[in-house]
Structure 1
Amino acid sequence: MKAVKIDRYGGPEEIYVTDVENPTPADQEVLIKVKAAAINPLDWHVLRGTPYFMRALTGVFKPNEKFQTLGADVAGVVEQVGEQVTELKIGDAVFGDIFNFGYGALAEYICVPEEALVLKPENINFEEAAGVPVAALTAYHGINRFGKIKPGSEVLINGASGGVGTFAVQLAKYYGANVTGVCSNRNIDLVKDCGAEDVLDYTEQDVRSQDRKYDLIFDAVGNLSLSDYKNLLTKNGNCAVIGFGGMTHLIGAGLFGGRHIKMVDFKANQQDLQFIADLMESRDLSTVVDRTYSLNQTAEAITYLETSRARGKVIIKIQ
C-alpha cells in the first residue's frame, strides 16, 4: 500500500510517498480502507518538530515510528475487524480523530481501535467527514465545554474562516449565541453563511478598538494579547485559545485569576464525536472544504495550509 512518510524534521520537502506493508488489525481494531484524510496545523508541527517540547512525544532528533506517517483525521470503509470488535462490521463507513490512537491517516489502509470511530452519516461524503474530527471537536470543546455559552451570549471568533473557526461559528450559532467573526474581506460572505451576524474585516477594522464586550472570545489565531482579552471580555467572560500559541498566553493567565483563559485541549472520544456526527446528519453543522489534494500532493497541501489562507478544511482524497 501507499503511505505518506517523513524520516526527519523539516519542511514539506521532507515528505514522500512510498510503498509499505499492509497492516493487520489487533483484536480490538478494525482495518480501514482510507477514502479521505484532513490536513491540520498539528501535521505541520509534527513535520517541523516545533515547538520543540513536542519532540518529547514525537521524537527528540527525528520522528519516531508512530509519527513517521502524518494524519490525525480519517474517513473510510471497514475492510477487516479484530476478534473483539463488537460494534463495527465490514463495509461500515466510519470516521474519527486518531491522534491518540496511532496517528498515520495519510495512507491507503490503517488499523484503528474501534473506540476511536463512529459511523459516517449517509448524507455526507468522505471528504466532508474527514474534515470533521480534530477541527469540530476543538471548536466544540472551546464553545461548549469551556465557553459554556447560552442563548443570547455574545461570542467573538477570531479566525472565523479557518478550519476550526468555521465550525466554531456554526456551533456558537447552534447554541443560540450572537456571533461576531473576524476574518479578511474575501471571507466575509463565507463567515456570514456559517451563521455570524457581524463580521469584522481585520484588514480594515481593529477588533481591539471596539467598545463592545463579549461573553466568550474564541481565538483560533492567537494574535491577541492578554490585555486585549481583558478589554474585550465581560466581567465573567471566558477566552478559549486554540493551538500552541495559546501556551504563551497561559503564562500570564494570572491576569484573569487563572480561571477565564484556557488553551483548548481534549482527548477525542466516541460520545463527543457522535454528537458532532448527529449535527452533521441533521445539517446543523457542515464542513467547509477549501481544497482537495491527492496523496501524492500532500507536501503541496501542507505548504498551502501553512500560508494560513485556507478557507475551511484542506482534504487529502485517497483513491
Structure 2
Amino acid sequence: MKKLIYSKFGGPEVLQIAEVPIPAIQETSVLIKVKAVSINPLDWKIRNGEMKLMSGSKFPKGIGIDFSGIVEETGTAVTQYKKGDEVFGILDVFKGEALSEYVIAKEKDIVIKPQNVSFEQAAAMAVVGSAALQIFNTLVDLKKGTEVLINGASGGIGMFATQIAKRKGAIVTAVVGDSGIQAVKDWGADFVINYNKEDVLKGNKPYDVVIDLSGKIPFSKAKQIMKHSSAYVHTAPGPKEIISSFFINLFSHKKYKLLMLKPSPGYLAELRGYAEQGIGIVVSKIYPFHSFKKAYTEVPHGKFIGKAVITMDDLKNK
C-alpha cells in the first residue's frame, strides 16, 4: 500500500510516498481503508521538528491525525464494528500516520460516520472538534449568557467552538477577516468583528472568555478586554506559555488556560451527535493524495474557511 512518510525534519519537500505492507491486524484493532484525511497545524509542527519532545526523533515518520474510511477487517475481540462500516476517528496525536491507504485503529479511537456528512466532512471533525469540546469541557466554565470572544473564528477549531458555544447558551463574538464574515454568521455568532476594519482591543466590551485561535492576541493584550474573573485560552502553547501561565494563574483572577489536546472516545461520540443534528462542517479545500506537497505548501499559508482535507480517491487508478 502507499503511505506518506518523511525521513528527516523539514518542510513539504521531505514528504514522500512509500510502498509499505498493509499493517497487520491485532485481535483488539480495526483495519480501515482510508477515504479522507484532515490537514492540521500539528502535522507541519511535528514534521518541522518543533515538537521533538513529544513526537521523538525516530524515522521514518508518517503524517496525518484524523481521518474517515471504511472498515476492511476487524480483530477477533472487536464487537462494535464490522466490515463495510463507514467510520471516522483519530490516531495518536504525535505519531499520526493517517495519510495511508490503510490504517489500524482501536475501537475507542473511531465512531460510525453520520450518514448526513461526507467522508471529507467526517475526516475534518475529530481534531478540531475535540479541541473545541476540550476547551468548553475542561478549561472554561461555560454557562448561559457567558460572553465569549473567539479570535480567528472562521478556521477549524473556530468552526466548532462558535457553534458549540452557541448550543451551550453563550453569547459569541467572532473575530474574522473579510472572507470569514458570512461563515461565522451562518454558524450563529451573535456579533462579528472584522479585524481589517476594527481593533477588538480598542472596544469597550469585556469578556468572560477569550479564545485566541490565530496567535494574534497574546494574554498580555487580551487581559485589557477580559472581565475581573475570566479566562484566556491559548491553543498552541510552547514552553514559554507553559511557564508564564503557571505564575499568572497563581496571582491573577484572569486565568491563562492552555489547550493540550487529549482526544477521548467521549468527544468522538459527542461530535457524531452534533453532526447528526446538523452542525455546520465546512471543507473549503480538497486535495487528491498525489497533490500532498501542494496541500502542505498551501494550507499553512492560506486562510481557509473551516478545514482542508486530502482524499485517497486518486489511488484507485494508480
> TM-score scaled by structure 2?
0.92
Distance in 2 (alpha carbons) for counterparts of 1:133 and 1:113: 15
| Preserved CA contact (<8 Å) 1:169 1:196 | yes
Instruction: Show the counterpart of 1:265.
Output: 260
Contact in 2 for aligned 1:25/1:112 (Cα 8 Å) = no
Q: Shift in Å at residue 256 of structure 1?
A: 4.1
1:291 aligns with 2:285: yes
8 Å CA contact retained: 2:55, 2:95:
no
The answer on 1:34 being equivalent to 2:28 is no
Most deviating of 206-215 and 29-38: 206-215
The structural deviation recorded for 1:308 is 4.5
C-alpha RMSD of matched pairs (Å): 1.7
Per-residue deviation, 1:275 = 0.9
Q: Secondary structure at the match of 2:38?
A: strand
Q: 2:197 maps to which residue? A: 204
Which residue does the alignment assign to 1:248? 240
Q: CA deviation at 1:293?
A: 0.3
Give unpaired runs (5+ residues) of structure 2: 314-318
Moved over 4 A (4+): none
Contact 2:284/2:304 (CA < 8 Å) preserved in 1?
Answer: yes
Amino acid at match of 1:84: A
Q: Superposition pairs for residues 11-90 of structure 1, below 5 Å?
A: 11-50=11-50, 54-60=51-57, 63-65=58-60, 68-90=61-83
**Aligned residues with identical type, % of pairs:** 35
CA contact (8 A) 2:3 2:100 kept: yes
Question: What is the aligned counterpart of 1:118 among 111, 116, 127?
Answer: 111
Q: By how many angstroms is 1:99 displaced? A: 2.1
Report the Cα distance in structure 2 between the residues aligned to 1:311 and 1:299, rounded to whole angstroms.
20
Q: Is the 8 A contact 1:58 1:64 kept in 2?
A: no
Letter in 2 for 1:73: D
Answering whether residue 167 of structure 2 is matched by residue 162 of structure 1, we say no
**1:277 aligns to 2:272 (yes or no):** yes
Residues 16-44 of structure 1: CA deviation (Å, up to 9, x unaligned)? 22321111211111000001110100001
Gapped runs of 5+ residues in structure 1? none
Cα distance change on mapping 1:308 and 1:213 into 2, 3 Å = farther
Residues 250-259 or 161-170, more deviating: 250-259
The 5 A counterparts of 1:206-221 are 206-221=199-214
Structure 1 residue identity aligned to 2:221: D
Give the number of equivalent residue pairs: 310
Aligned residue number for residue 316 of structure 2: none
Please tell me whether the aligned partners of residues 68 and 120 of structure 2 are also in contact (alpha carbons under 8 angstroms). yes
CA distances 1:218-249 after superposition (whole Å, capped 9, x unpaired): 1112222223222111122111111136x533
1:128 aligns with 2:124: no
Shift of 1:6: 0.9
Q: Which deviates the most, 197-206 or 73-82? A: 197-206
